[in-house]
Amino acid sequence: MTRAGDGLLVTGTDTGVGKTVVAALLCRARPEATYVKPVQTGLAEGPADAEVVARLAGVATRQGPGFDEALAPAVAAARAGRVVRRAALLQPFGGLDVVVGEGAGGLLVELGTDGTTLADLAADLNLALVVVARPGLGTLNHTRLTCEAAWARGLRVTGIVVNRYPEHPGVVERTNLDGLAAFAPLLTVIPELPILKPPLPELPWPAR
């Protein structure tokens, strides 16, 4: 498996918050990293996240089990008549020196049909978490729930990335930045821009 501390796992407060873009930016900060998606759903609807990261960051990628339907992984696996256990989710991480892993949905979404979550993988791999959050109303609660679920399991949250920050933020967005930074490091704020094309914003590798 990966050596302790040699990487990060990217999770989010929900699905669709921009975890893949953040994972790509982290990979750009460490070009020697390998991007790992332990399970992928929604393959029938577009490119796999590993393909997107390879295009944006130019790094090596690995992917675990994949499913066509855009559903929670355990649900997609069950509907496909497949069994996905923790060993299959951990396998793509094997032998890597530096890794950026990305979950599916939030921290406690079941990635495997045995109930394995990204929190379980973080504990098994001894990797810290980067939490991707939205800027708007509700994000303080959603982000704190994610962080406290991680802390309750003895996991380290290395920081929060706020994605799709509006060009003209209102009082909600402005005050949310202070609220988020009060309970976990705020790594960066990514603007609401068409950033899937170069040049991409920079996201420094978080300090340990």
> Is 190 exposed, middle or buried (CB count within 10 Å of its CB: 0-12, 13-18, 19+)?
buried
Q: How confident is the model at residue 23 (pLDDT cuts 50, 70, 90)?
A: very high
Closest CA to 135 of 159, 107, 163: 163
Catalytic residue among 37, 134, 144, 164: 37
Tell whether the model's pLDDT for residue 195 goes beyond 70: no
Q: What pTM, to 2 d.p., does this model score? A: 0.94
Q: Hey, where are the domains in the chain?
A: 7-191
> Does 197 participate in catalysis according to the annotation?
no
| Architecture of the CATH domain 7-191 | 3-Layer(aba) Sandwich (3.40)
* Average pLDDT value for residue range 177-205: 84
